[in-house]
Structure 1
Amino acid sequence: MRKAKIERKTLETNVSVELNIDGNGNCDIDTGIGFLDHMLTLIAFHGSFDLKIKCSGDLQVDDHHTVEDIGLTFGAAFAEALKNKKGIKRYSSLYIPMDEALSLVVVDISNRPFLQYNINFTRERLGEMDTQNFKEFFKAFVSEARITLHINQIYGENDHHKIESVFKGFARALRESSEVISDNIPSSKGVL
């Protein structure tokens, strides 16, 4: 099984992530941010990942450090769990609806970190989470997981529905692109 456990301790946060890419969707999430817990639970369920995330952060300041450091730690765990990437599918692109909202999420497990992020929110917060920090989560994940990620909100009205469609698409794209389908490294260069 492809598993990893990563811890990150700073003066601002203390994060622990345990990930089993070949899991069943079991999760234990406690970040101190209810809306982020909801989104991370969606990743575990829709990606069929076993995921345990614990974080204590300086939420008395705001949620930025906590969200970013969880993204960094989760991304590092994903990269470690993939190991040499031998035989993975590598690519995935999915349209995911959530009621009136539709998003497109595209993943390339490329060893080249890049984020294209196109979501417009009408609200500043969802629950106690600043909507600006969703981008910070994905940017942090991408930098440590070393993947290319394109997120495009096609349309939608309700901000909760918009970001939920994105997180579900992200989970499913990660799952699909990390599936083992051969014995080869999926690159004409022979390495990723």
Structure 2
Amino acid sequence: MENNRSAGLRRRVAREAALLLYTSQEKEYKQAKSRAAQTLGMRILPSNAEVAEELDEIAEEREGPSRGERLSQMRKEAFQIMAVLKAFHPRLVGSVWRGTAHRNSDIDVITFSSDHNAVLDSLVRGSFRVVRAEWCSVTKRGRKESSFHIYFVLSSGNKVEVVVRSPEKMSFLGKCEIYGDVVRGLSYSQLQRVLKGNPLQRFVPT
């Protein structure tokens, strides 16, 4: 009985956190969970995966069939971007890779180059209108890591973030903070196969 009650409370917090993320009131899972728990007067915190599951349900409920159409479009747009960046070994990651994208999702692409300006120039030559480009640093396992981030908006209104990492990081597969699995993403050729075979294919742990 106690386990059922605990599970119910976790789901309430997860649902509230997911709603905060879906409506863009919060951008990060950690902050969304803390705010949701505070709003509901609870101390229990769900896992990121539990929040992601609720977020997926909310998106499905609110967007219906248009959600699949949007995902297919975003993957096609990602493919076009990756074609321009083919020399930099692009990989599609994030919710568009996972197949869990919703109306507020961005297209996330990782590239690898020792010259971030070369990636930036390729996008400009490809007629993508860059709105911002900057260095970002994060600390992982006590080590500071930097990468170059390029932001632009497509004619469809979809937002894109292209990250430029050192070529040394090409073989490194990071751990997903949401699902806990390895972030493999999709290469240009892999995305091409997905678009031909099953444009709505999902890549989430079962």
TM-score, normalised relative to structure 2:
0.29
Query: Which is higher, the Rg of structure 1 or of structure 2?
Result: 2
**Larger proportion of strand:** 1
TM-score, normalised relative to structure 1:
0.30
